[in-house]
Structure 1
Amino acid sequence: MPDRRFVSQLAHNEPVQQVFLASEKLLRPNKNGNLYLQVDLSDRSGSINTRMWNASEDDYKAFENGDFVVVDGATQLFQGTMQLIANRIRRARPDEVCEADFMTLQSADVDRMRARLVEILAKIQTPPLQRLVKAFVDDQSFMDKFCLAPAGMKNHHAYKSGLLEHVVSLMELVLVVAPRYPQLDGDKLLVGAFLHDAAKVDELSYERDIAYTDEGQMLGHMIMAITMVDDKVREAIRKDGMPMPEKLITEIKHMIVSHHGEYEYGSSKLPMTLEAVALHHLDNLDAKLASFTQLIKDCPNADSPWTQYFTQIGRKLYKGAI
């Protein structure tokens, strides 16, 4: 096989013969009734929408979502977006797959961020919040999943260990911002940053491709996180026999259910405390910068200082001087 070209490196009208990770495959009819296969192919640099024309049921069944596949085809620029037209897709043999090609974050990065997460959480001074956080950090199964899970399906940090990267970045923001606003309780804000997306460890499945679990699809991570917090509160009380301030825990839960900031974005409540307002805006800042950075990175317009127009954000993005 030729030397690997990552998704972010692919140019218009470039022949492709290499391994990708397959997800979200569909068999669809075109306007003439002929079937075609649509699938997202990805590596550590991003994903590319792929079509195989005149496909059959056998082509569709030749691999599963989450499989590594070998693809023969060529790229083409269509309406400002790079796509791949496949002539052939088959399941890859183990000896054809280099796992490092599909890891956005390397193990050393993950270990470093995990240590930093624990280091920041150790700064919390409020005793009940210390106890709550300890119940999570001492749960090895939870922490292992927390350090492996993505932060989402598509929008931002949508890769393994993306949740850890997002949360550590957000907590670093809290350490900078909270001291500048004395009216904010920095400990509450740190715990909110830690737990706001914590239930994504169970909302999503991420052994190979990223998908929603049944529970994640039906409940969502904000509702699931409330159950997680309740469980850890009970666990903390069992360990030391001390009560947990109910109003304080309610404020932590409120930050979780309101952190998307608007009803139309999935929050069941609007932010009503200063910490909830701060968490929403800091979370949105980190997510938006990560998302827009990825859009710029994936832009196929290599010779232009501008990206193509993105319908999902209603604008082009300026990449800077070439």
Structure 2
Amino acid sequence: MRGGKVERDELIEKKHFIEDLRIGDSVSDVFLVRKIIPKDDPEVLVCDKTGEIKIAFADRSTDRDDIMNLFKPGDFVFVRKGLIDDRNGEIKIYLDSLDNIEIVDKKNVQIEDLVPSLSDMEISKMLSELRDYIDGIENVHLKALLKKVFYDDEFLEKFVRTPSSIDHHHNYIGGNLEHTLNVVKICDAIAKMNKDLNRDILVTGAMLHDIGKSFEYKPYLLYEKTDEGILAGHIILGERRIREKINELRSEGVDFPEDLEMLLSHMILSHHGRREWGSPEVPKFLEALVLHYADLMDSQIKYHIQKMEEEKKRGKNNWTLIWDNDLKRRKPFYIGEV
């Protein structure tokens, strides 16, 4: 079948990374599908660990529905005899037809070559920095909880290897760790400026706010969710995990206060800020409100940085259009030097 899945026995060795592709190159290689771009002539956005590039089809008779239905985010595809060109001002891989692309099984690829990821050194440094914040927590119960979570090797293996989102901000392996550390830094800075804030509970909430993503996503992959991730989502899973860890502390003789548990639970459940953004509740005390805005700030900054980088790779220099989720439309955005 054109564009269909082909069974292979051998491992496909990655030969051409996206960052090294140049106009005029011929490409026969494996990539990971990030998304299908719906338009009159649909395109397939693919990636490897070095970047992203679109696949377009030179044959305008290629059936639109075939492209839309054959591929999905998370598929591994082998491209045959693709041409790197910059028609219409954007560098893409051009294929003659669907005969030049096939889906391959996960067992036939080196996933590490295809999934955008922070380096092991970056991940190790960030984890060490995150753990350092535990030492600055004065509340003995919150400190015990954080140690229970962030010194759990089984949990950490998942936590440091998951993205923060699929197609928004920090969408690469290690992204959730990076985002969490950034939110902690923002909350810590705000607590130092505002003495009315309870720094301990704010920083603790920041460290814990997205731990549910470690159970929502499968480690090392950007598009595969767990069953409970699909059914419950990271907010519910994170809140559940915190209660489980608190109960473990109580079983070990730690008298963890119920009111503190209630406040932490609310911070996790409300950190998206609005029900239409996925929060079961809206923030109803000051530290929960600060956590929401810190989370929003870091996610929005990173989202725009990533979009600016994408647009610059497309050859844009000063102004471009970037999607704004609040406006529900693309907005003019300056990407030149400041």
User: What TM-score do you get using the length of structure 2 for normalisation?
Assistant: 0.78
Return the alpha-carbon distance in structure 2 between the equivalents of residues 105 and 319 of structure 1. Answer: 24
Is the CA contact (8 Å cut-off) linking 1:4 and 1:18 kept in structure 2?
no
User: Which is further off, 208-217 or 190-199?
Assistant: 208-217
Shift of 1:76: 7.1
**Offset, 1:282:** 0.8
Question: Does the C-alpha gap of structure 1 residues 196 and 18 become closer, same or farther in structure 2, counting only changes over 3 Å?
Answer: farther
Is 242-251 or 43-52 further displaced after alignment?
A: 43-52
What CA deviation, in whole Å up to 9, does each residue of 1:198-241 have, x standing for no partner? 010111124344232221122111111121011101111122x1
1:307-322 → structure 2 map (5 Å cutoff): 307-310=320-323, 312=325, 314-321=330-337
Q: Is 1:22 the counterpart of 2:35 in the alignment?
A: no
Number of positions where the alignment pairs a residue of Structure 1 with one of Structure 2: 312
Matched, 1:142 2:143: no
AA of the residue aligned to 1:253: S
Task: Please give the alpha-carbon distance, in whole angstroms, between the structure 2 residues aligned to 1:209 and 1:175.
Answer: 29
Moved more, 14-23 or 75-84: 75-84
| CA distance in 1 between partners of 2:324 and 2:95 (Å) | 25
Residue of structure 1 in register with 2:47 after alignment: 42
Aligned equivalents of 1:44 and 1:107: distance in 2?
Answer: 13
- Quote the Cα distance in structure 2 between the aligned partners of 1:286 and 1:137: 21
2:301 matches 1:289: yes
* In 1, Cα distance between equivalents of 2:158 and 2:116: 16
SS of the residue 1:207 aligns to: coil
CA distance in 1, matches of 2:273, 2:139: 26
Task: Give 3-state SS (helix, strand or coil) of 2:122's partner.
Answer: helix
Residue by residue over 1:236-263, the C-alpha shift from the partner in whole angstroms, topping out at 9 and shown as x without a partner, is: 1122x12211111111111111111111
Which amino acid counterpart does residue 125 of structure 1 have in structure 2?
Answer: E
- 1:110 corresponds to 2:123: yes
Matches within 5 A, 1:1-322: 4-6=17-19, 17=27, 19-23=29-33, 39-51=44-56, 53-54=62-63, 65-67=74-76, 69-74=78-83, 84-87=93-96, 88-90=100-102, 91=104, 99=112, 102-239=115-252, 241-299=253-311, 300-310=313-323, 312=325, 314-321=330-337
Q: Which amino acid in the other structure matches residue 334 of structure 2?
A: Y
Structure 1 CA distance for aligned equivalents of residues 247 and 238 of structure 2: 14
Q: SS at 2:220's partner residue? A: coil
Percent identical: 25
> What CA distance in whole angstroms lies between the structure 1 residues aligned with 2:320 and 2:71?
36
CA distance 1:94–1:271, shift in 2 (3 Å): closer
Question: Does structure 1 conserve the Cα–Cα contact (< 8 Å) formed by 2:173 and 2:221?
Answer: no
Residue identity matched to 1:189: L
Distance 2:56 2:224 in 1: 20
Of the structure 1 ranges 304-313 and 219-228, higher mean CA displacement relative to structure 2 is found in: 304-313
Greater shift after overlay, 114-123 or 202-211? Answer: 202-211
Alpha-carbon distance between aligned partners in 2 of 1:199 and 1:114, rounded to the nearest angstrom: 17
Query: Compared with structure 1, are the counterparts of its residues 288 and 245 closer, same or farther at alpha carbon in structure 2 (3 Å cutoff)?
Result: same
- Per-residue deviation at 1:169? 1.4
CA distance in 1: counterparts of 2:305 and 2:144, whole angstroms: 37
Q: What is the letter of the counterpart of residue 308 of structure 2?
A: I
Change (3 A) 1:161 1:309: closer
Taking only aligned residues, the RMSD between alpha carbons, in angstroms, comes to 3.7
Displacement of 1:5 after TM fit? 3.5
SS at match of 1:205: coil
Secondary structure of residue in 2 paired with 1:307: strand
Q: Note the C-alpha offset of 1:54.
A: 4.9
Shift of 1:79: 9.2
1:81 & 1:172 partners in 2: Cα distance?
Answer: 37
Q: Which runs of 5+ in 1 are unaligned?
A: none
Closer, same or farther in 2 for the Cα pair 1:10/1:306, shift >3 Å?
farther
Residue 235 of structure 1 aligns to which amino acid in structure 2?
A: E
Distance 1:261 1:14, change over 3 A: farther
The one-letter code matched in structure 1 to 2:332 is K
What secondary structure is seen at the aligned counterpart in 1 of 2:130?
helix
